[in-house]
Every structure is written in C-alpha cells, then in structure tokens.
Structure 1
Amino acid sequence: MRRSIIRKAVRWYRLRADERGVSTLEFALILPLFITMGLTGVEYAYMATVNMQVSQTAISLADNASRLGQTDNSSVTPTVTEADIDSIMSGAIRQGEGFDLQANGRIILSSLEYDEATGRQYIHWQRCRGDLDRDSSYGDENENNGLGSNTITGVGTADNQVTAAEGSAVMVAEVFYEYDGIINGAFGEPAEFRQEAVFTIRDDRNLTPGVTGTGGESSCSG
C-alpha cells in the first residue's frame, strides 16, 4: 500500500515537472483571442473600404448628373431625359457591383431647384435604383417636395447647406447601403451606411419641363 502511494506521488511529481506541452497549451488558450482580433481587424478594414466605395458612388452619380446635356451641341437649351437618367443610374449600380449595391442598397437622385413663385427650395424630380427600401432624407417629388407643408432649407450638413440659385439646379445623390459583414451576422445587426454628394449643374439646362421622354427604369415608386 505504501509503495503504491509512493509510486503515485512520484508520477504526480513527474507530471507537474513535465513542461513539454506548456507551449502547445498556451497557444491553444490564446488562439481564439488572436483569431477574434484578426477577424475583427479584417471586418473593420473591409467595412471602411465599402463605406468609402459608397461615398465614391454618390460623388460620381452627382457629378455625372450635373453634366447631363453638357455635350448637347444644338441651339436649343437641353432638358434631362429619362434615358439620360437611366444611363447614369445604371452606371452607379455598375460601380457598386463589387459590394452588391443593387440588392443591398438604394441610390436616390434628386433635382433641387428654386421656385420663383414662392421663393422656396423644392424637389422638382427624383429617381431611384436599388432593392433596399429607403426614402430621401429631404423629401420626394410629390407632396413632400418642399412646396407643401414641409420646407427644404437646403441640402448637405447643417453648418454647410447648399441651395439652388434661381434658374439653376442642384443634383443631390444619396446612397444607402446595408452592410452585413464578411461573415453575415457574425458581428450583430447589419450596419447601414448613408453617403451623399451635391453638385450644381454645369451648363444651361431647360428646367421647366422637369424630366422629358417616356419609359425610364428609375422610378422611386417602382
């Protein structure tokens, strides 16, 4: 009995003194932390990249919208057509193909103009693309266009608002995007990005009729 106890004590001592698996054990304990930190870093880096791409899409859309009709060489002041708008809206969706803007986002293009009769800012027309259900932060082209009960003081940040001058228009591009992460849902609820860009039209444009032409695939109600 005594010998058995001694042998057990010796084995226990040898086990305690054995350090051959210490590094492996320490690595196994700390590995989940390293994986979590690494995945979090990758996630935030990719999130920042997508947010920047959303911003660039908004800038490109507003810039392209401000140039509509710029290459028209006719003597008649050009209007904006449904085909023109479809072209630049499709371009914005194409620009966002890398992060699936069509399925997870919404792009809204509004023409902010000055109403001579009331002296108020209003949305003359508005067009949309993308499957995400979002509305413009400023209004729409119907009852919330700025000439009814709601008013639009300008677009942009509160301390740097942009307004349309008489006889001119401001192209306002808003891009919404629902970001669900590289590993879908792994980091909680999806984050939503919203970026906007504002450009004043570059050349003379016949604003009176709004958007001309028929058809069009960029209706906000569709």
Structure 2
Amino acid sequence: MLMPTIPFVRKLAARLRRDTSAVSTIEFGFMLPLFITMGMTGTELAYMATVNMQVSQVATSLADNASRLGQTDNSAVTPTVTEADIDSIMEGALRQGRSFGLGENGRIILSSLEYHNTTGRQYFHWQRCRGDLARSSAYGDEDQNNGLGSHRIYGVGSATNRITADEGSAVMVAEIVYDYEGIITGAIGRNVQFRQEAIFLIRDDRNLEPGVTGDDSQSLCDA
C-alpha cells in the first residue's frame, strides 16, 4: 500500500484551511457539552435552593404549631401536651414535606427546652422524632444528654444568640435534617445534607410538670 506523497498532503491541508463550510455546526458541536453541563448544573442548584427553603418552612411550621398546643383547650384546667397532639403536628410536617420525600430521606426532631427549678439548668423535658433518616438533635436528647447530667445545654440557636427557657415556660425546638439526593445524577458530584431549625416560645399557659401525657406515641425517637 502506497503512502500519500508529501505534495498531496500539503495540497489537502491547504484545501481544508480554505474550506469554511459548516464552521458554525462544528463550533456548536464543541460548545454543546459545555452548554448541557451549565444547564444541568443551573437546574440542580435552583431545585436545591427550593428544597432547602421548603425544609426551612416545614421546621418553622412545626415549631409554630408545637408552641400553640393547648390553646384550643377551653377547660378550666391548664392543658398538658399529649402524645396524640405531638403525633398530629408531626404527621402534618411529614405531609408538608411529602413532595420532596422528607419522611424517607429526612429526620424531624421536636424538643421541649425548659428551665429546671431545682438545678437552674436548661434541659430537654421531652423529645419526639419522625422520619427514616438516622440523625440526632444538635443539642441533646431526653435521656442521658437532656442537660441535667454531665452533658450541659446552655441554650439553643446560634452560638452568638443562645435562646433559653424562662422559669415556668418552655421553648419548642424543631430541627430537620434532610439528605438531598439531587434530580440529576452527577450534576453536583455528591449528596448534600440540609439542616434547618426553628425555635418558638409557647404561646399560652401549659402544665409542664408531667411532660407529655397519653400513650401509644408514633413519634418516639428510639422507634
């Protein structure tokens, strides 16, 4: 098999240099992967911001609803918080986050931060959880880490603005941890975890002494 002669190769190269047909198509072919990548990444980032905002809204709604428990009780006796009350608002939070799979990919944690009259410490009197994701509160739990033992709870919120409960009152602390998996595999490179919280002071008189009354809770954190 004869190899092309040098003059032939030179003539072919010169002709290719002069040929400008389909230049735009070729340039578009080179740029198309970049455009697709930018579009996919932009879509992913926009959806990520939307879901993060929705997680924050669920946390705010949960803490707000928890702070109002007992307001509709018209009896002369100061109302307590029941397991049924907590299950109801926790179920509402799960339904609010159903569109982005909060129950399957997230963890909802609701805690009652209170003032302990004997020790003067801040502590979690009770804590309830929902969601399949195995995550714990950033502050403590209702057992050994409730703030009355070696583990201290100095308040909730940012390190520069700690929120504490006053004597005879309580603070409802809603924390949500959510594993964002992404809608386009590989656009971000790895899963992102959102953590949002909301803190509300209880709105009305509440009998804090018994903690949570009632049985058959669907929101125990060790369930």
Comparing 150-159 with 4-13, greater Cα deviation is found at 4-13
* Distance apart, 1:188 and its partner CA: 2.1
Superposition TM-score, scaled by structure 2 size: 0.94
* One-letter amino acid of the counterpart of residue 62, structure 2: L
Counterpart residue type for residue 47 of structure 1: M
The AA in structure 1 aligned to 2:149 is G
Please tell me whether the aligned partners of residues 124 and 147 of structure 2 are also in contact (alpha carbons under 8 angstroms).
yes
Provide the secondary structure at the position in 2 that maps to 1:128. strand
Deviations 1:57-88 (CA, angstroms, capped at 9, x unpaired):
10000000000000100001000000000000
Whole-angstrom distance in 2 between the partners of 1:73 and 1:184: 53
Task: Please name the residue that 2:160 is paired with.
Answer: 159
CA distance in 2, matches of 1:7, 1:148: 89
Matched residue of 1:84: which SS?
Answer: helix
In structure 2, the partner of 1:117 is 118
Secondary structure (helix, strand or coil) at the match of 2:178 reads strand
In structure 2, the CA distance between the partners of 1:44 and 1:5, relative to structure 1 (3 Å rule), is closer
Deviation of 1:19 after TM superposition, in Å, equals 1.0
Q: For residue 135 of structure 2, what is the aligned residue in structure 1? A: 134
Q: Determine the structure 2 residue equivalent to 1:100.
A: 101
Output the CA distance in 2 between the equivalents of 1:11 and 1:80: 87
Which runs of 5 or more structure 1 residues have no equivalent in the other structure?
Answer: none
Cα-Cα RMSD? 1.5
Distance apart, 1:205 and its partner CA: 0.3
Gaps of 5+ in 2: none
Deviation of 1:141 after TM superposition, in Å, equals 0.3
> TM-score normalized by structure 1?
0.94
| Cross-structure match for 1:47 | 48
- Distance, in Å, in 1 between the alignment partners of 2:186 and 2:31 is 24
Aligned mates of 1:139, 1:127 — CA distance in 2: 12
Share of identical aligned residues, percent?
A: 69
Distance 1:5 1:39 in 2: 47
Secondary structure of 1:90's aligned partner: helix
Aligned to 1:15, the other structure's residue is in SS state helix
Q: In structure 2, the residue corresponding to 1:14 is in which secondary structure?
A: helix
In structure 2, what residue type is equivalent to 1:177? Y
Aligned residue in 1 for 2:75: 74
Return the alpha-carbon distance in structure 2 between the equivalents of residues 139 and 82 of structure 1: 20
Q: How far, CA to CA, are the matches of 1:219 and 1:185 in structure 2?
A: 36
For residue 192 of structure 1, give the secondary structure of its aligned residue in structure 2. strand
One-letter amino acid matched to 2:92:
G
SS at 2:203's partner residue? coil
Residue in structure 2 matched with residue 203 of structure 1 by the alignment:
204
Cα offset, 1:16, TM superposition: 2.5
